[in-house]
Structure 1
Amino acid sequence: MFKGLSLFLLLISFTVQAEQWPGEQWPAGPKIAGPAVEALEAYAFPTRDDNTRKGIRTDALLVIRDGQLIYERYAAATTADTPHLTWSISKSLMATVLGVAYGEGLFKLDDPAAKYYPVLEKHPAITLKDLLHWASGIDWQEDYEYAPLKSSVVAMLYTRGHRDMAAFTAHHDSYAPAGQAFRYSSGDSNLLAAALKTIVGPQRYPDYPWTALFDPLGIRHATWETDATGTFVASSYAYLTARDLARIGLLMERDGRWNDRQLLPKDWVAFNREPFAGYKANQDEAVPGGHWWLNRPAAGAASPWPDAPPDTFAALGHWGQVLYVIPSEKLVIVRYGDDRDGSYRHNELLKRVLGAVRP
């Protein structure tokens, strides 16, 4: 009996030792090479035209497998030490920060958002879950360069709403009942950032992303801008190096665990990766989960990234910022870019990365 127990404990010890985690640096794994990598680079790093800003313009590409760095390349002015603007990846970062607060027992998903952000009294039915699903029902136009005069997000970030972005959002009218319909909204994300201030308290709030998430993961150089009220711009303005963003990916790939600490509750990660039931499929679009994007087919549609495993999920940002997580392949992929014409395709990059890493 004792001999069998000793053997079992020895096997557990070997399993723990084999699991790789980054310290100050990422452990180096076997570098990928060969024709499949050349095909990947031909797609991700074509000749770059900085005059027209057309075509695929990758700033950084990093691949982690089994917790080890196996591929890394940078372009233009970006280096391994450059905190890159993540744009809407910031939304998934806020969801991850909120997950730590959820694990502290500070809120429930079905809590009314107005409980933590009273400016939302105009919309009493909205829950925190609704905001995480981009399903607040608040009328919002998420238009960018192609319709700036009608854009709610441009007004929020740059003109009349920029000093207090959450209040600007809260004062919009509703177009649908809360929780019923998906409408992508940077405003919903900034309402979450404002609610977090009450959830954790004003004393903890300015440092909370660092003490709750960045510091435990060894992220040392993150910047997260605030508006004039001191509220984090959860929609847009977090800056991380590619190596640091990959730490967020590894945390999510391992179901919220970091070394021997369950930093995010497993049920929080499961919620992030569960499709929003009210989503109506659009062709080739990832499916919204809890402020993450999923490679899951919605009703009547094919998988958005058919060459990637169905458990693939991602944080997505404007102009080609992406953090992909593929638990079944033990893969984390960070891709930063400066794409301006929409030519980049998620499925194509994922297909080529998988072709390069699979035997």
Structure 2
Amino acid sequence: MSKGWFLIPLLLLNLSVQAEDWPGEQWPSGPTPTGQSIEALEQYAFPPRDDASREGIRTDALLVIQDGRLVYERYAGPTTAQTPHLTWSISKSLLATVFGVAYGEQRFVLDDPVAKYYPPLSQHSDMTLADLFHWASGLDWQEDYEYAPLKSSVVAMLYTRGRHDMAAFTAQHDSFSPPGQAFRYSSGDSNLLAAALKNIVGAARYPDYPWTALFEPLGIRHATWETDASGTFVGSSYAYLTARDLARVGLLMQRDGRWGERQLIPKDWVAFSREPFVHFLAGQDEAVPGGHWWLNRGADPTLRPWPDAPPDTFAALGHWGQALYVIPSAKLVIVRYGDDRDGSYRHNELLKRAMAAFAGKMQP
């Protein structure tokens, strides 16, 4: 028998080994690890829940995707697999991902002045879209929450003076630095981007654009994204997704913007999202800002906000413990929803235990 007859089944076997798993209506499932590592993860993420005082770690959902397969899922409190959970500032990274589709359609470049798409910023003609993605608009913004509401720009924007037109409210702030030179975390910057997107994609397409551009291609069917009274998406805060649907966005980013056979987001957009902002100063925040995502590395390679996670880890993070972690080197996507009110939750601790549970077997 010719040796060529043996090549065909071997090639087919090789192709089956390399085939990627992608979710359809449901996620393909894989085996959940057992033993002490999973117990340690659950002991941290799901301690006895105090719903009376709202103290301590209060995880609503924890879901793990490994190499495209759902390998762990647990819910608590009122949250279930069918609950579209408020993502808070994960919305910012979702907005950046929607922008990635528009970028692939060649509708803008990062060096474009924001005023080109949002004229109320005409007095800041040197402010670019890239500056907003780095939370470096230079506007004098105070991102304080319920702990200091009287001086909080974001509380005023979301709930009082600015709630009718959040971008216009943000644009009225004075400057504290030239654009692009200093990091200052700002939900206002995100809502300026949301307003600019309206002119980038066109007013007619805008109300449906997050769905037609991103959610529907990923198979996300039940997302909600609130707008302010002007019809602008609250890009800073008010997107709602189930944990399984948010994991689809994580898998898209883990696989460099590709969904199945389609390059939904250009690779260079994903690279921009994961590139540290050059003017970020260590110690300003728990994680390093990228392009509206948070990174586990800075311009200084020794800067590791989450030392027990791989350097390529990046995340979308939100108020009260919301998190979407993406770890390309371990082929992991982790969704964690929570209702933490006292700041006791630590990203590094959960990532350390998740790596021990799910990535240990992948180590050489």
Q: Could you state the TM-score of these two structures normalised by the residue count of structure 1?
A: 0.96
AA paired with 1:115?
K
SS state at 2:320 partner: coil
Q: Is the 8 A contact 1:284 1:303 kept in 2?
A: no
* C-alpha separation in 2, matches of 1:136 and 1:58: 33
Please name the residue that 2:75 is paired with.
Answer: 74
AA paired with 2:79?
T
Q: Which runs of 4+ in 1 moved over 2 A?
A: 3-16, 297-302
Residues 283 and 141 of structure 1: CA distance in aligned 2, closer, same or farther (over 3 Å): closer
Q: Is the 8 A contact 1:122 1:171 kept in 2?
A: no
SS state at 1:319 partner: helix
Unmatched tracts of structure 2, length 5 or more: none
Please name the residue that 2:307 is paired with.
Answer: 306
* C-alpha separation in 1, matches of 2:17 and 2:203: 42
* CA displacement at 1:15 relative to structure 2: 5.1
* C-alpha separation in 1, matches of 2:13 and 2:211: 35
Please name the residue that 1:31 is paired with.
Answer: 32
Please name the residue that 2:153 is paired with.
Answer: 152
Please name the residue that 1:14 is paired with.
Answer: 16
* C-alpha separation in 1, matches of 2:226 and 2:302: 37
Please name the residue that 1:89 is paired with.
Answer: 90
* CA displacement at 1:299 relative to structure 2: 3.9
- Show the 5 A alignment for 1:1-359: 10=12, 13-14=15-16, 18-282=19-283, 285-299=286-300, 302-357=303-358, 358-359=360-361
1:278-333 Cα distance to aligned partner (Å, 9 max, x none): 10111771100000000004549631000000000000000000000000000000
AA paired with 1:226?
T
* C-alpha separation in 2, matches of 1:273 and 1:300: 14
1:124-182 Cα distance to aligned partner (Å, 9 max, x none): 11100000000000110000012100000000000000000000001111100000000
* C-alpha separation in 2, matches of 1:98 and 1:8: 42
Q: Is the 8 A contact 1:320 1:344 kept in 2?
A: yes
AA paired with 2:148?
A
Q: Compute the RMSD of aligned alpha carbons.
A: 1.8
Residues 151 and 277 of structure 1: CA distance in aligned 2, closer, same or farther (over 3 Å): same
Q: Is the 8 A contact 1:275 1:289 kept in 2?
A: yes
* CA displacement at 1:14 relative to structure 2: 2.8
* CA displacement at 1:51 relative to structure 2: 1.0
SS state at 1:129 partner: helix
* C-alpha separation in 1, matches of 2:170 and 2:125: 14
* CA displacement at 1:11 relative to structure 2: 6.7
Residues 186 and 294 of structure 1: CA distance in aligned 2, closer, same or farther (over 3 Å): same
Q: Percent identity?
A: 77
SS state at 2:70 partner: strand
AA paired with 1:14?
S
Q: Is the 8 A contact 2:66 2:332 kept in 1?
A: yes
Q: Is the 8 A contact 1:60 1:242 kept in 2?
A: yes
Count of residues in Structure 1 that have an aligned counterpart in Structure 2: 357
Q: Is the 8 A contact 2:276 2:298 kept in 1?
A: no
AA paired with 1:158?
Y
Q: Could you state the TM-score of these two structures normalised by the residue count of structure 2?
A: 0.95
Q: Is the 8 A contact 1:287 1:298 kept in 2?
A: no
1:46-77 Cα distance to aligned partner (Å, 9 max, x none): 00111111100000000000100000000000
SS state at 1:244 partner: helix
* C-alpha separation in 2, matches of 1:333 and 1:118: 39
* C-alpha separation in 1, matches of 2:9 and 2:284: 52
Q: Is the 8 A contact 2:197 2:206 kept in 1?
A: yes
* C-alpha separation in 2, matches of 1:239 and 1:334: 13
Q: Is the 8 A contact 2:59 2:339 kept in 1?
A: yes
AA paired with 1:253?
Q
Residues 303 and 101 of structure 1: CA distance in aligned 2, closer, same or farther (over 3 Å): same
Residues 40 and 83 of structure 1: CA distance in aligned 2, closer, same or farther (over 3 Å): same
Unmatched tracts of structure 1, length 5 or more: none
Q: Is the 8 A contact 2:282 2:303 kept in 1?
A: no
